[in-house]
Amino acid sequence: MIATFIGIRFMRFPLHVRKSSQENRRLNVILFTLSLLIVIPSIFSAVALVQESIQTSSINQFVNEEFPDDVVLDQAYNEDTKKLVVTISGDYMSKSDIANAQDSLADYGLEDVTLDIDQVPDLSELNGAELKQYLDKYISSQEEKKNIEKQDGAEN
């Protein structure tokens, strides 16, 4: 309704009902105020959505470029703690490799993010018992994350 009114006013269609200039001014103020009440929250929502999208894209780019030789089993970002947990399988990463990955977060615009890398050995080299142990740990950690998300969702 507001968009139609504004469009008609900009196109300068004549009003069928003649009103005094004071009534027109009052109507314009009311419509302008309503427009602002609608537009301002929309702008904040759009900005938040764009920032979230940029951050998600940066995280995905970071993971794809920093762990090209590893199998990424999971990546989870906690916005409250600004912590990125990446679960990988492949060659063992040394502490210096992990530190380099942490340092390279700034290159992706993720300076305030802390990195936690969970390393799972190359799954093809494990025997059945070791594989079961790692998979059980992985499944339980995923269930914990889902439970935390459900609790967070219920609180909001």
Token digits for 148?
């935390």
Whether residue 142 contacts residue 74, with contact meaning beta carbons closer than 8 Å, is answered with yes
pLDDT surpasses 70 at 144:
yes
Residue 114: CB partners within 8 Å, gap ≥ 6?
81, 82, 83, 84, 102
In this prediction, residue 5 has a pLDDT band, given cuts at 50, 70 and 90, of confident
The predicted structure's pLDDT at residue 124 = 67
Upper half-sphere CA count for residue 62 (Cβ side, 13 Å): 28
CA distances for 94 relative to 58, 71, 100, 117, angstroms: 24, 16, 10, 11
Share of the chain above pLDDT 90, in %: 13
pLDDT surpasses 80 at 60:
yes
Q: Tens of pLDDT along 108-137?
A: 988 888 898 888 766 666 677 777 777 777
Sheet (strand 71-78) strand order: 71-78, 83-89, 114-120
Cβ-count burial of 67 within 10 angstroms (0-12 exposed, 13-18 middle, 19+ buried)?
middle
pLDDT surpasses 70 at 16:
no
Residue type, 153: G
Phi (first) and psi of residue 84, to 5 degrees: -105, 120
**Three-class DSSP category at 7:** helix
